[in-house]
Structure 1
């Protein structure tokens, strides 16, 4: 089983840092004031959001295990049968025309599989990742 971590863009890192800082800054007044029922709600919501963001940053990766491509981004995960992959497209840019985007960079790969399904991923070593997929399924077209 090979594990590929997601590439992280500087822009997205900045967005995550600012978001985490804002969440913490919004929670501090609730902790310093006399704790009331409303502040408990704020603390719980902010803590859950913070945990979600941190888990996405720390645990976005792709695993190739036999003929299955497994992806995980925080608590979200899925798998793709590599034999069903038809095409891999290199993509750069902010707009990504897919529903699933378990990636931390705007430079990545759009994988087309099954009949109409797509997913956007951004492994650090894209060439090695693609080579391993093609080794399992030589019919994959790379654009």
Structure 2
């Protein structure tokens, strides 16, 4: 039976969502007030609504599923999987600012797999996640 880990929610990510959605809402309202309801207003509102939905989907829809063969990650519409056999090293309690990050918090985990690939995730408990993955593959280097 797979073990599911929700992504930890960080204050930085929460504030980014609040600020971005507030700015887009302000732009949409001010555009309607200044120019009325025109085709351009509907386009702007549609784009702002789409971006807001994407941000909320990522915020509430980020999780990780660990079973005996693979780690699956879900981050809004983005998803993928990594074979447990390919994982070589886990760096815990760190933050990665560039690269692929299906995560909603800092101080998470960097998983190095295959030859040069890595991914940053932020499970609700780094310790519990590492314990579970070590039950499946005990020879993963932890740093």
Fold-level match, TM-score > 0.5? yes
Preserved CA contact (<8 Å) 2:88 2:112: yes
1:95-134 alignment, distance < 5 Å? 96=96, 99-134=99-134
Distance 1:83 1:17 in 2: 39
Aligned residues between the structures: 141
Matches within 5 A, 1:58-137: 58-93=60-95, 96=96, 99-137=99-137
Superposition deviation, residue 18 in structure 1: 1.2
Aligned-partner SS, 1:90: strand
Q: 1:83 and 1:92 mapped to 2: Cα distance? A: 23
Measured after TM superposition, the shift of residue 106 of structure 1 is 1.3
Contact 1:98 1:120 in 2 (8 A): no
Aligned to 2:41: 39
Give, in angstroms, the shift of residue 28 of structure 1. Answer: 2.0
Deviations 1:1-59 (A, max 9, x none): 11111111112211111111111222223455531111111011111101111101111
TM-score (norm 2): 0.91
Asked whether the 8 Å contact 2:92–2:126 carries over to 1, the reply is no
CA gap of 1:65–1:30, structure 2 versus 1, over 3 A, is farther
Match of 2:55 in 1: 53
The alpha-carbon deviation at position 97 of structure 1 amounts to 5.9
Aligned to 1:15: 16
Q: Which runs of 5+ in 1 are unaligned?
A: none
Q: TM-score, normalised by structure 1?
A: 0.91
Question: What's the CA shift for 1:83?
Answer: 1.0
SS at match of 1:100: coil
CA RMSD for the aligned pairs? 1.5
